[in-house]
Amino acid sequence: MIGIQYVVTTIFFFLAAGLLAMLMRAELARPGMQFVGNQVFNELFSVHAALMIFLFIIPAFAGLGNFVIPLMIGAPDMAFPRLNALSFWLLPMAGLMMLSSFFVPGFGCGWTGYAPLCSTHQELGAVFFNMGVQWAGASSIMTALNFLVTIITMRAPGMTFWRMPLLVWANFTTSLLVVIATPFIAGSQFMTMFDHVMHTNFFNYEAHGYVLGYQHIFWFYSHPAVYIMMLPGFGIASEVISTFARKPIFGYRLMALSLMAILVLGFSVWAHHMFVSGMAPWLRVPMMVTSVVIAVPTGIKVFSWLATLWEGKLSFRTPMLFALGFVSMFVIGGLSGIYLAAVPIDIDVSDTYFVVAHIHYVLFGGSLFTIFAGIYYWFPKMTGRMYNEQLGKLHFWLTFIGFNATFFPMHYLGIQGMPRRVSDYAPRFADLNFFISIASFFLGASTLVFLYNMIVSWARGEPAPANPWRAMTIEWQVSSPPPVFNFDEVPQVVGGPYEYGVPGARHAVFGDRVAEEEEVRSR
């Protein structure tokens, strides 16, 4: 149930952050200043990013995982239910903290909160951001710890690691990343806050502090955070694609191992965010090489999804549309990522709209599409009702078109040299910006279809059968919604999770069935 609370709460913050983005686009529709001043514009993009990252994408995945993981591994609940509730309730605190930064002299130094701009030269709002990150970070560390303990100690009989669905693998890897990396952003936010509030000298050059230290510590978390925001999406895509292609996942073990490879490599690439920061030049090429190497495990995953689709019996339900949208959009975001990893190109397009386009292809086209896929896919299981398929498809196509119309032109603007994070721009960028703003309002409006569909279907949708997608993983073998403690009897896992099209194959069996199966096998 906490999983559902999570998802609903994060969608609230998603809408709030989306509205901030539309205010920005309204300002950017024409050159010159229209609605908001420079400082307010800075606050808009800072809080937009902070909410989307810390209050939407990361906890939305945590929420879906919270609901699905215990079901998938055959556990009655998470390992520490009270800790789970605590980590949920820290989230609204974090979100309110960040939103209320608008009511004090605001937080306008960007979600990265670079020192010294955000430490000694900022207003009170920056401290609100520091504290908000602490709450959200503590929440995500506790959830990750909970996931890890649940996955390690509470799997059903027969559920070996190599029989776990890929979503469980993905959250296992993500949780390891969170436990190891998130304390670094906690540290960095403590340091900037101390510099601000107590006038310490962590990043004060005059007192022999090391200014660039902030960026190193921050990105040592925030690059792995990119994978924290993406790996659970990989897991959701694997579930959805395999189910709706009616085929076993291609290269199951390699899919799991490539997650692990991303985890390890993710810690060795942070300085590619700092090519123009004035850091030691010898760090550039090693960071470029490791960054490009990450494309290998990621590529393994993309090709495995394609191979899973190959000659599959595809059914284009809404979750599948979002999963396919994710694969195609993520490839574009990944490719522009390889460009950005290359030092010369990065120096050229640093701090331009090319970077904005890249991050939105990865986080919107990547993470958000998989979150939508996951919400539609498990909506029947969570609520016990079916969503409206026509509206779901309409939502997908509106989002897909609006998304591309909004963000694709930004690549071009960036290469032409339009800088990001400014409220005004040269007149020669005017036409394309006007188009982007219109497209972004279209994209914003598409969310209304989603909201209408979710609210009306939850209240009055058709009752959902236990297994509307004919999927094999355990969550679909219990009623929709599941019993209070997930299972009336403990399932017995007897095979892999994606044996679609294999005659007689089963992933898990219950109670009496266990005896029957044994009998069949002994004959």
Partner 1 sequence: MSVEAGHAAHPPVAHQSSRVDARTLGMFLFIASEVMLFGSFFTAYFFVRVVNHQPWPPSPFHLPVFVAFVNTCILVTSSFTMHWALQSIKRGNRAGMQAGLTLTFLMGVTFLLTQLLEYARIGFTPHDQAFGTIFFCLTGLHGAHVFVGLTILAAMTTRAFRGHFSPEAHNGVEIGGIYWHFVDVMWIVVFTTVYIL
Binding site for partner 1 (CB under 8 A): 1, 74-77, 79-81, 141, 145-146, 148-149, 152-157, 159, 179-184, 186-188, 190-191, 194, 198-202, 204, 207-210, 212-213, 216-217, 220, 481-485, 487, 490
Residue whose CB is less far from partner 1, 219 or 364: 219
> How far is Cα of residue 337 from the mean position of the Cα atoms in its chain?
17
Two tokens at 394?
């309409």
3-class DSSP state of 385 = strand
Q: How far is the CB of 141 from partner 1 (least distance, A)?
A: 5
For the chain, give percent helix, strand, coil, nearest 5: 70, 0, 25
Min separation Cβ 279 and partner 1, Å: 10
- Comparing CB distances to partner 1, the nearer of 110 and 183 is 183
For residue 367, the minimal CB distance to partner 1 (Å) is 23
C-beta neighbour count of 19 within 10 angstroms: 14
Between 24 and 115, CB nearer to partner 1? 115
C-alpha span between 259 and 173 (Å, rounded):
7
CB atoms within 10 A of CB 523: 5
| Closest CB to partner 1 among residues 105, 157 | 157
Q: Min. distance of Cβ 173 from partner 1 in angstroms?
A: 14
Residue 353 and residue 336: Cα distance in Å, rounded?
A: 12
Name the minimum Å distance from CB 434 to partner 1: 44
Minimum Å distance from CB 436 to partner 1? Answer: 38
* Residue number with CB closer to partner 1 (182 or 243): 182
Shortest approach of partner 1 to residue 297 CB, angstroms?
Answer: 23
Residue 416 or 467 with smaller CB distance to partner 1: 467
State how far the Cα of 49 lies from the Cα of 18, in Å rounded to an integer: 10
**Start-end of H helices in 100-251:** 124-153, 166-197, 213-228, 231-245
493 bridge partner residues? 508
Copy the structure tokens of residue 83: 């800790």
What is the sign of the dihedral through the CA atoms of 271, 276, 279 and 281? positive
Comparing CB distances to partner 1, the nearer of 310 and 485 is: 485
State the number of CA atoms in the 13 A half-sphere of 282 facing the CB: 0
Question: 74 vs 165, which CB is nearer to partner 1?
Answer: 74
State which residue, 151 or 329, has the beta carbon closest to partner 1.
Answer: 151
How far is CA 157 from its chain centroid? 31
Distances (CA, A) of 444 to 2, 22, 419, 440: 28, 7, 23, 6
Contact 38, 46 (CB under 8 A): no
Position 280, amino acid: A
Q: Residue 384, by phi and psi: left (phi above 0), alpha (psi -120 to 50) or beta?
A: left
- At closest approach, how far in Å is the CB of 183 from partner 1? 4
Query: Which H/E stretch holds residue 478?
Result: none
CB of 90 to partner 1, least distance (A): 15
With CA atoms as reference, report the closest residue to 160 among 269, 256, 236: 256
Q: Which one, 32 or 81, has the nearer CB to partner 1?
A: 81
Neighbours of 180 (CB within 10 A): 16
> Considering the complex, what minimum distance in angstroms separates the CB of residue 364 from partner 1?
29
